Amino acid sequence: MKFASTRLIAADIDSLVGFYEMVTGRQADWLAPEFAEIVTPGATLAIGSAETVALFRAGSAEPAANRTAIVEYMVDDVDADFARLKDRVEWVHEPKLMPWGNRSVQFRDPEGTLVGLFTPVTPAAKERFGSR
């Protein structure tokens, strides 16, 4: 089994895709008018419009209702990304060292999902992610 992607369901797909393009600096691949993917070296973020839910089972997912998952990106310099995004996102917390060795920030996307950026900084965290 290979983990393929995390998918968010969007009330406003254009806005949500534009937000993640701004955060990641990557352009989305639109596979259909109601479905896009932002592919990064480590993972893919898929974004589907609310209309796509009916393709699976009506009511099985709903936009702007996530309160459990955090979409996370490992970055080279979390402080530089914080400075770049400082006035463009709704911050949950500014850069701080987490107990597991990552320097981390969190903010919310336009539909309320938590987004985290982190840089491994302790020797154990760097080793865990294969960085030095």
Residue with tokens 């992610």: 129
Would you say residue 132 has pLDDT above 80?
A: no
Q: Identify the top-confidence range among 1-5, 64-68, 116-120.
A: 116-120
Of 7, 39, 44, 12, the closest CA to residue 26 belongs to 39
Q: Characterize the bridge pairing of strands 29-32 and 90-97.
A: unpaired
DSSP 56-94: H-TTS--TT---S-EEEEE-S-HHHHHHHHTTTSEEEEE
Domain of 92 in residue numbering reads as: 66-132
Q: Cβ distance 104 to 98 under 8 Å?
A: yes
The percentage of residues in the chain with a pLDDT greater than 90, rounded to a whole number, is 92
The percentage of residues in the chain with a pLDDT greater than 70, rounded to a whole number, is 99
Give the model's pLDDT for residue 131: 75
User: What would the pLDDT profile of 4-58 be if each residue is shown by its tens digit?
Assistant: 999 999 999 999 999 999 999 999 999 999 999 999 998 999 999 999 999 999 9
Specify the CATH number for the domain of residue 34: 3.10.180.10
The answer to whether the predicted template modeling score (pTM) of the entire model surpasses 0.85 is yes
One domain for residues 24 and 54: yes
One domain for residues 3 and 48: yes
One domain for residues 72 and 33: no
Average pLDDT of the chain to the nearest whole number: 96
Q: Cβ distance 92 to 108 under 8 Å?
A: yes
Q: How far apart are CA 132 and CA 125, in angstroms?
A: 9
* Cα–Cα distances in angstroms (integers) from residue 130 to residues 119, 120, 121, 126, in the given order: 12, 10, 12, 6
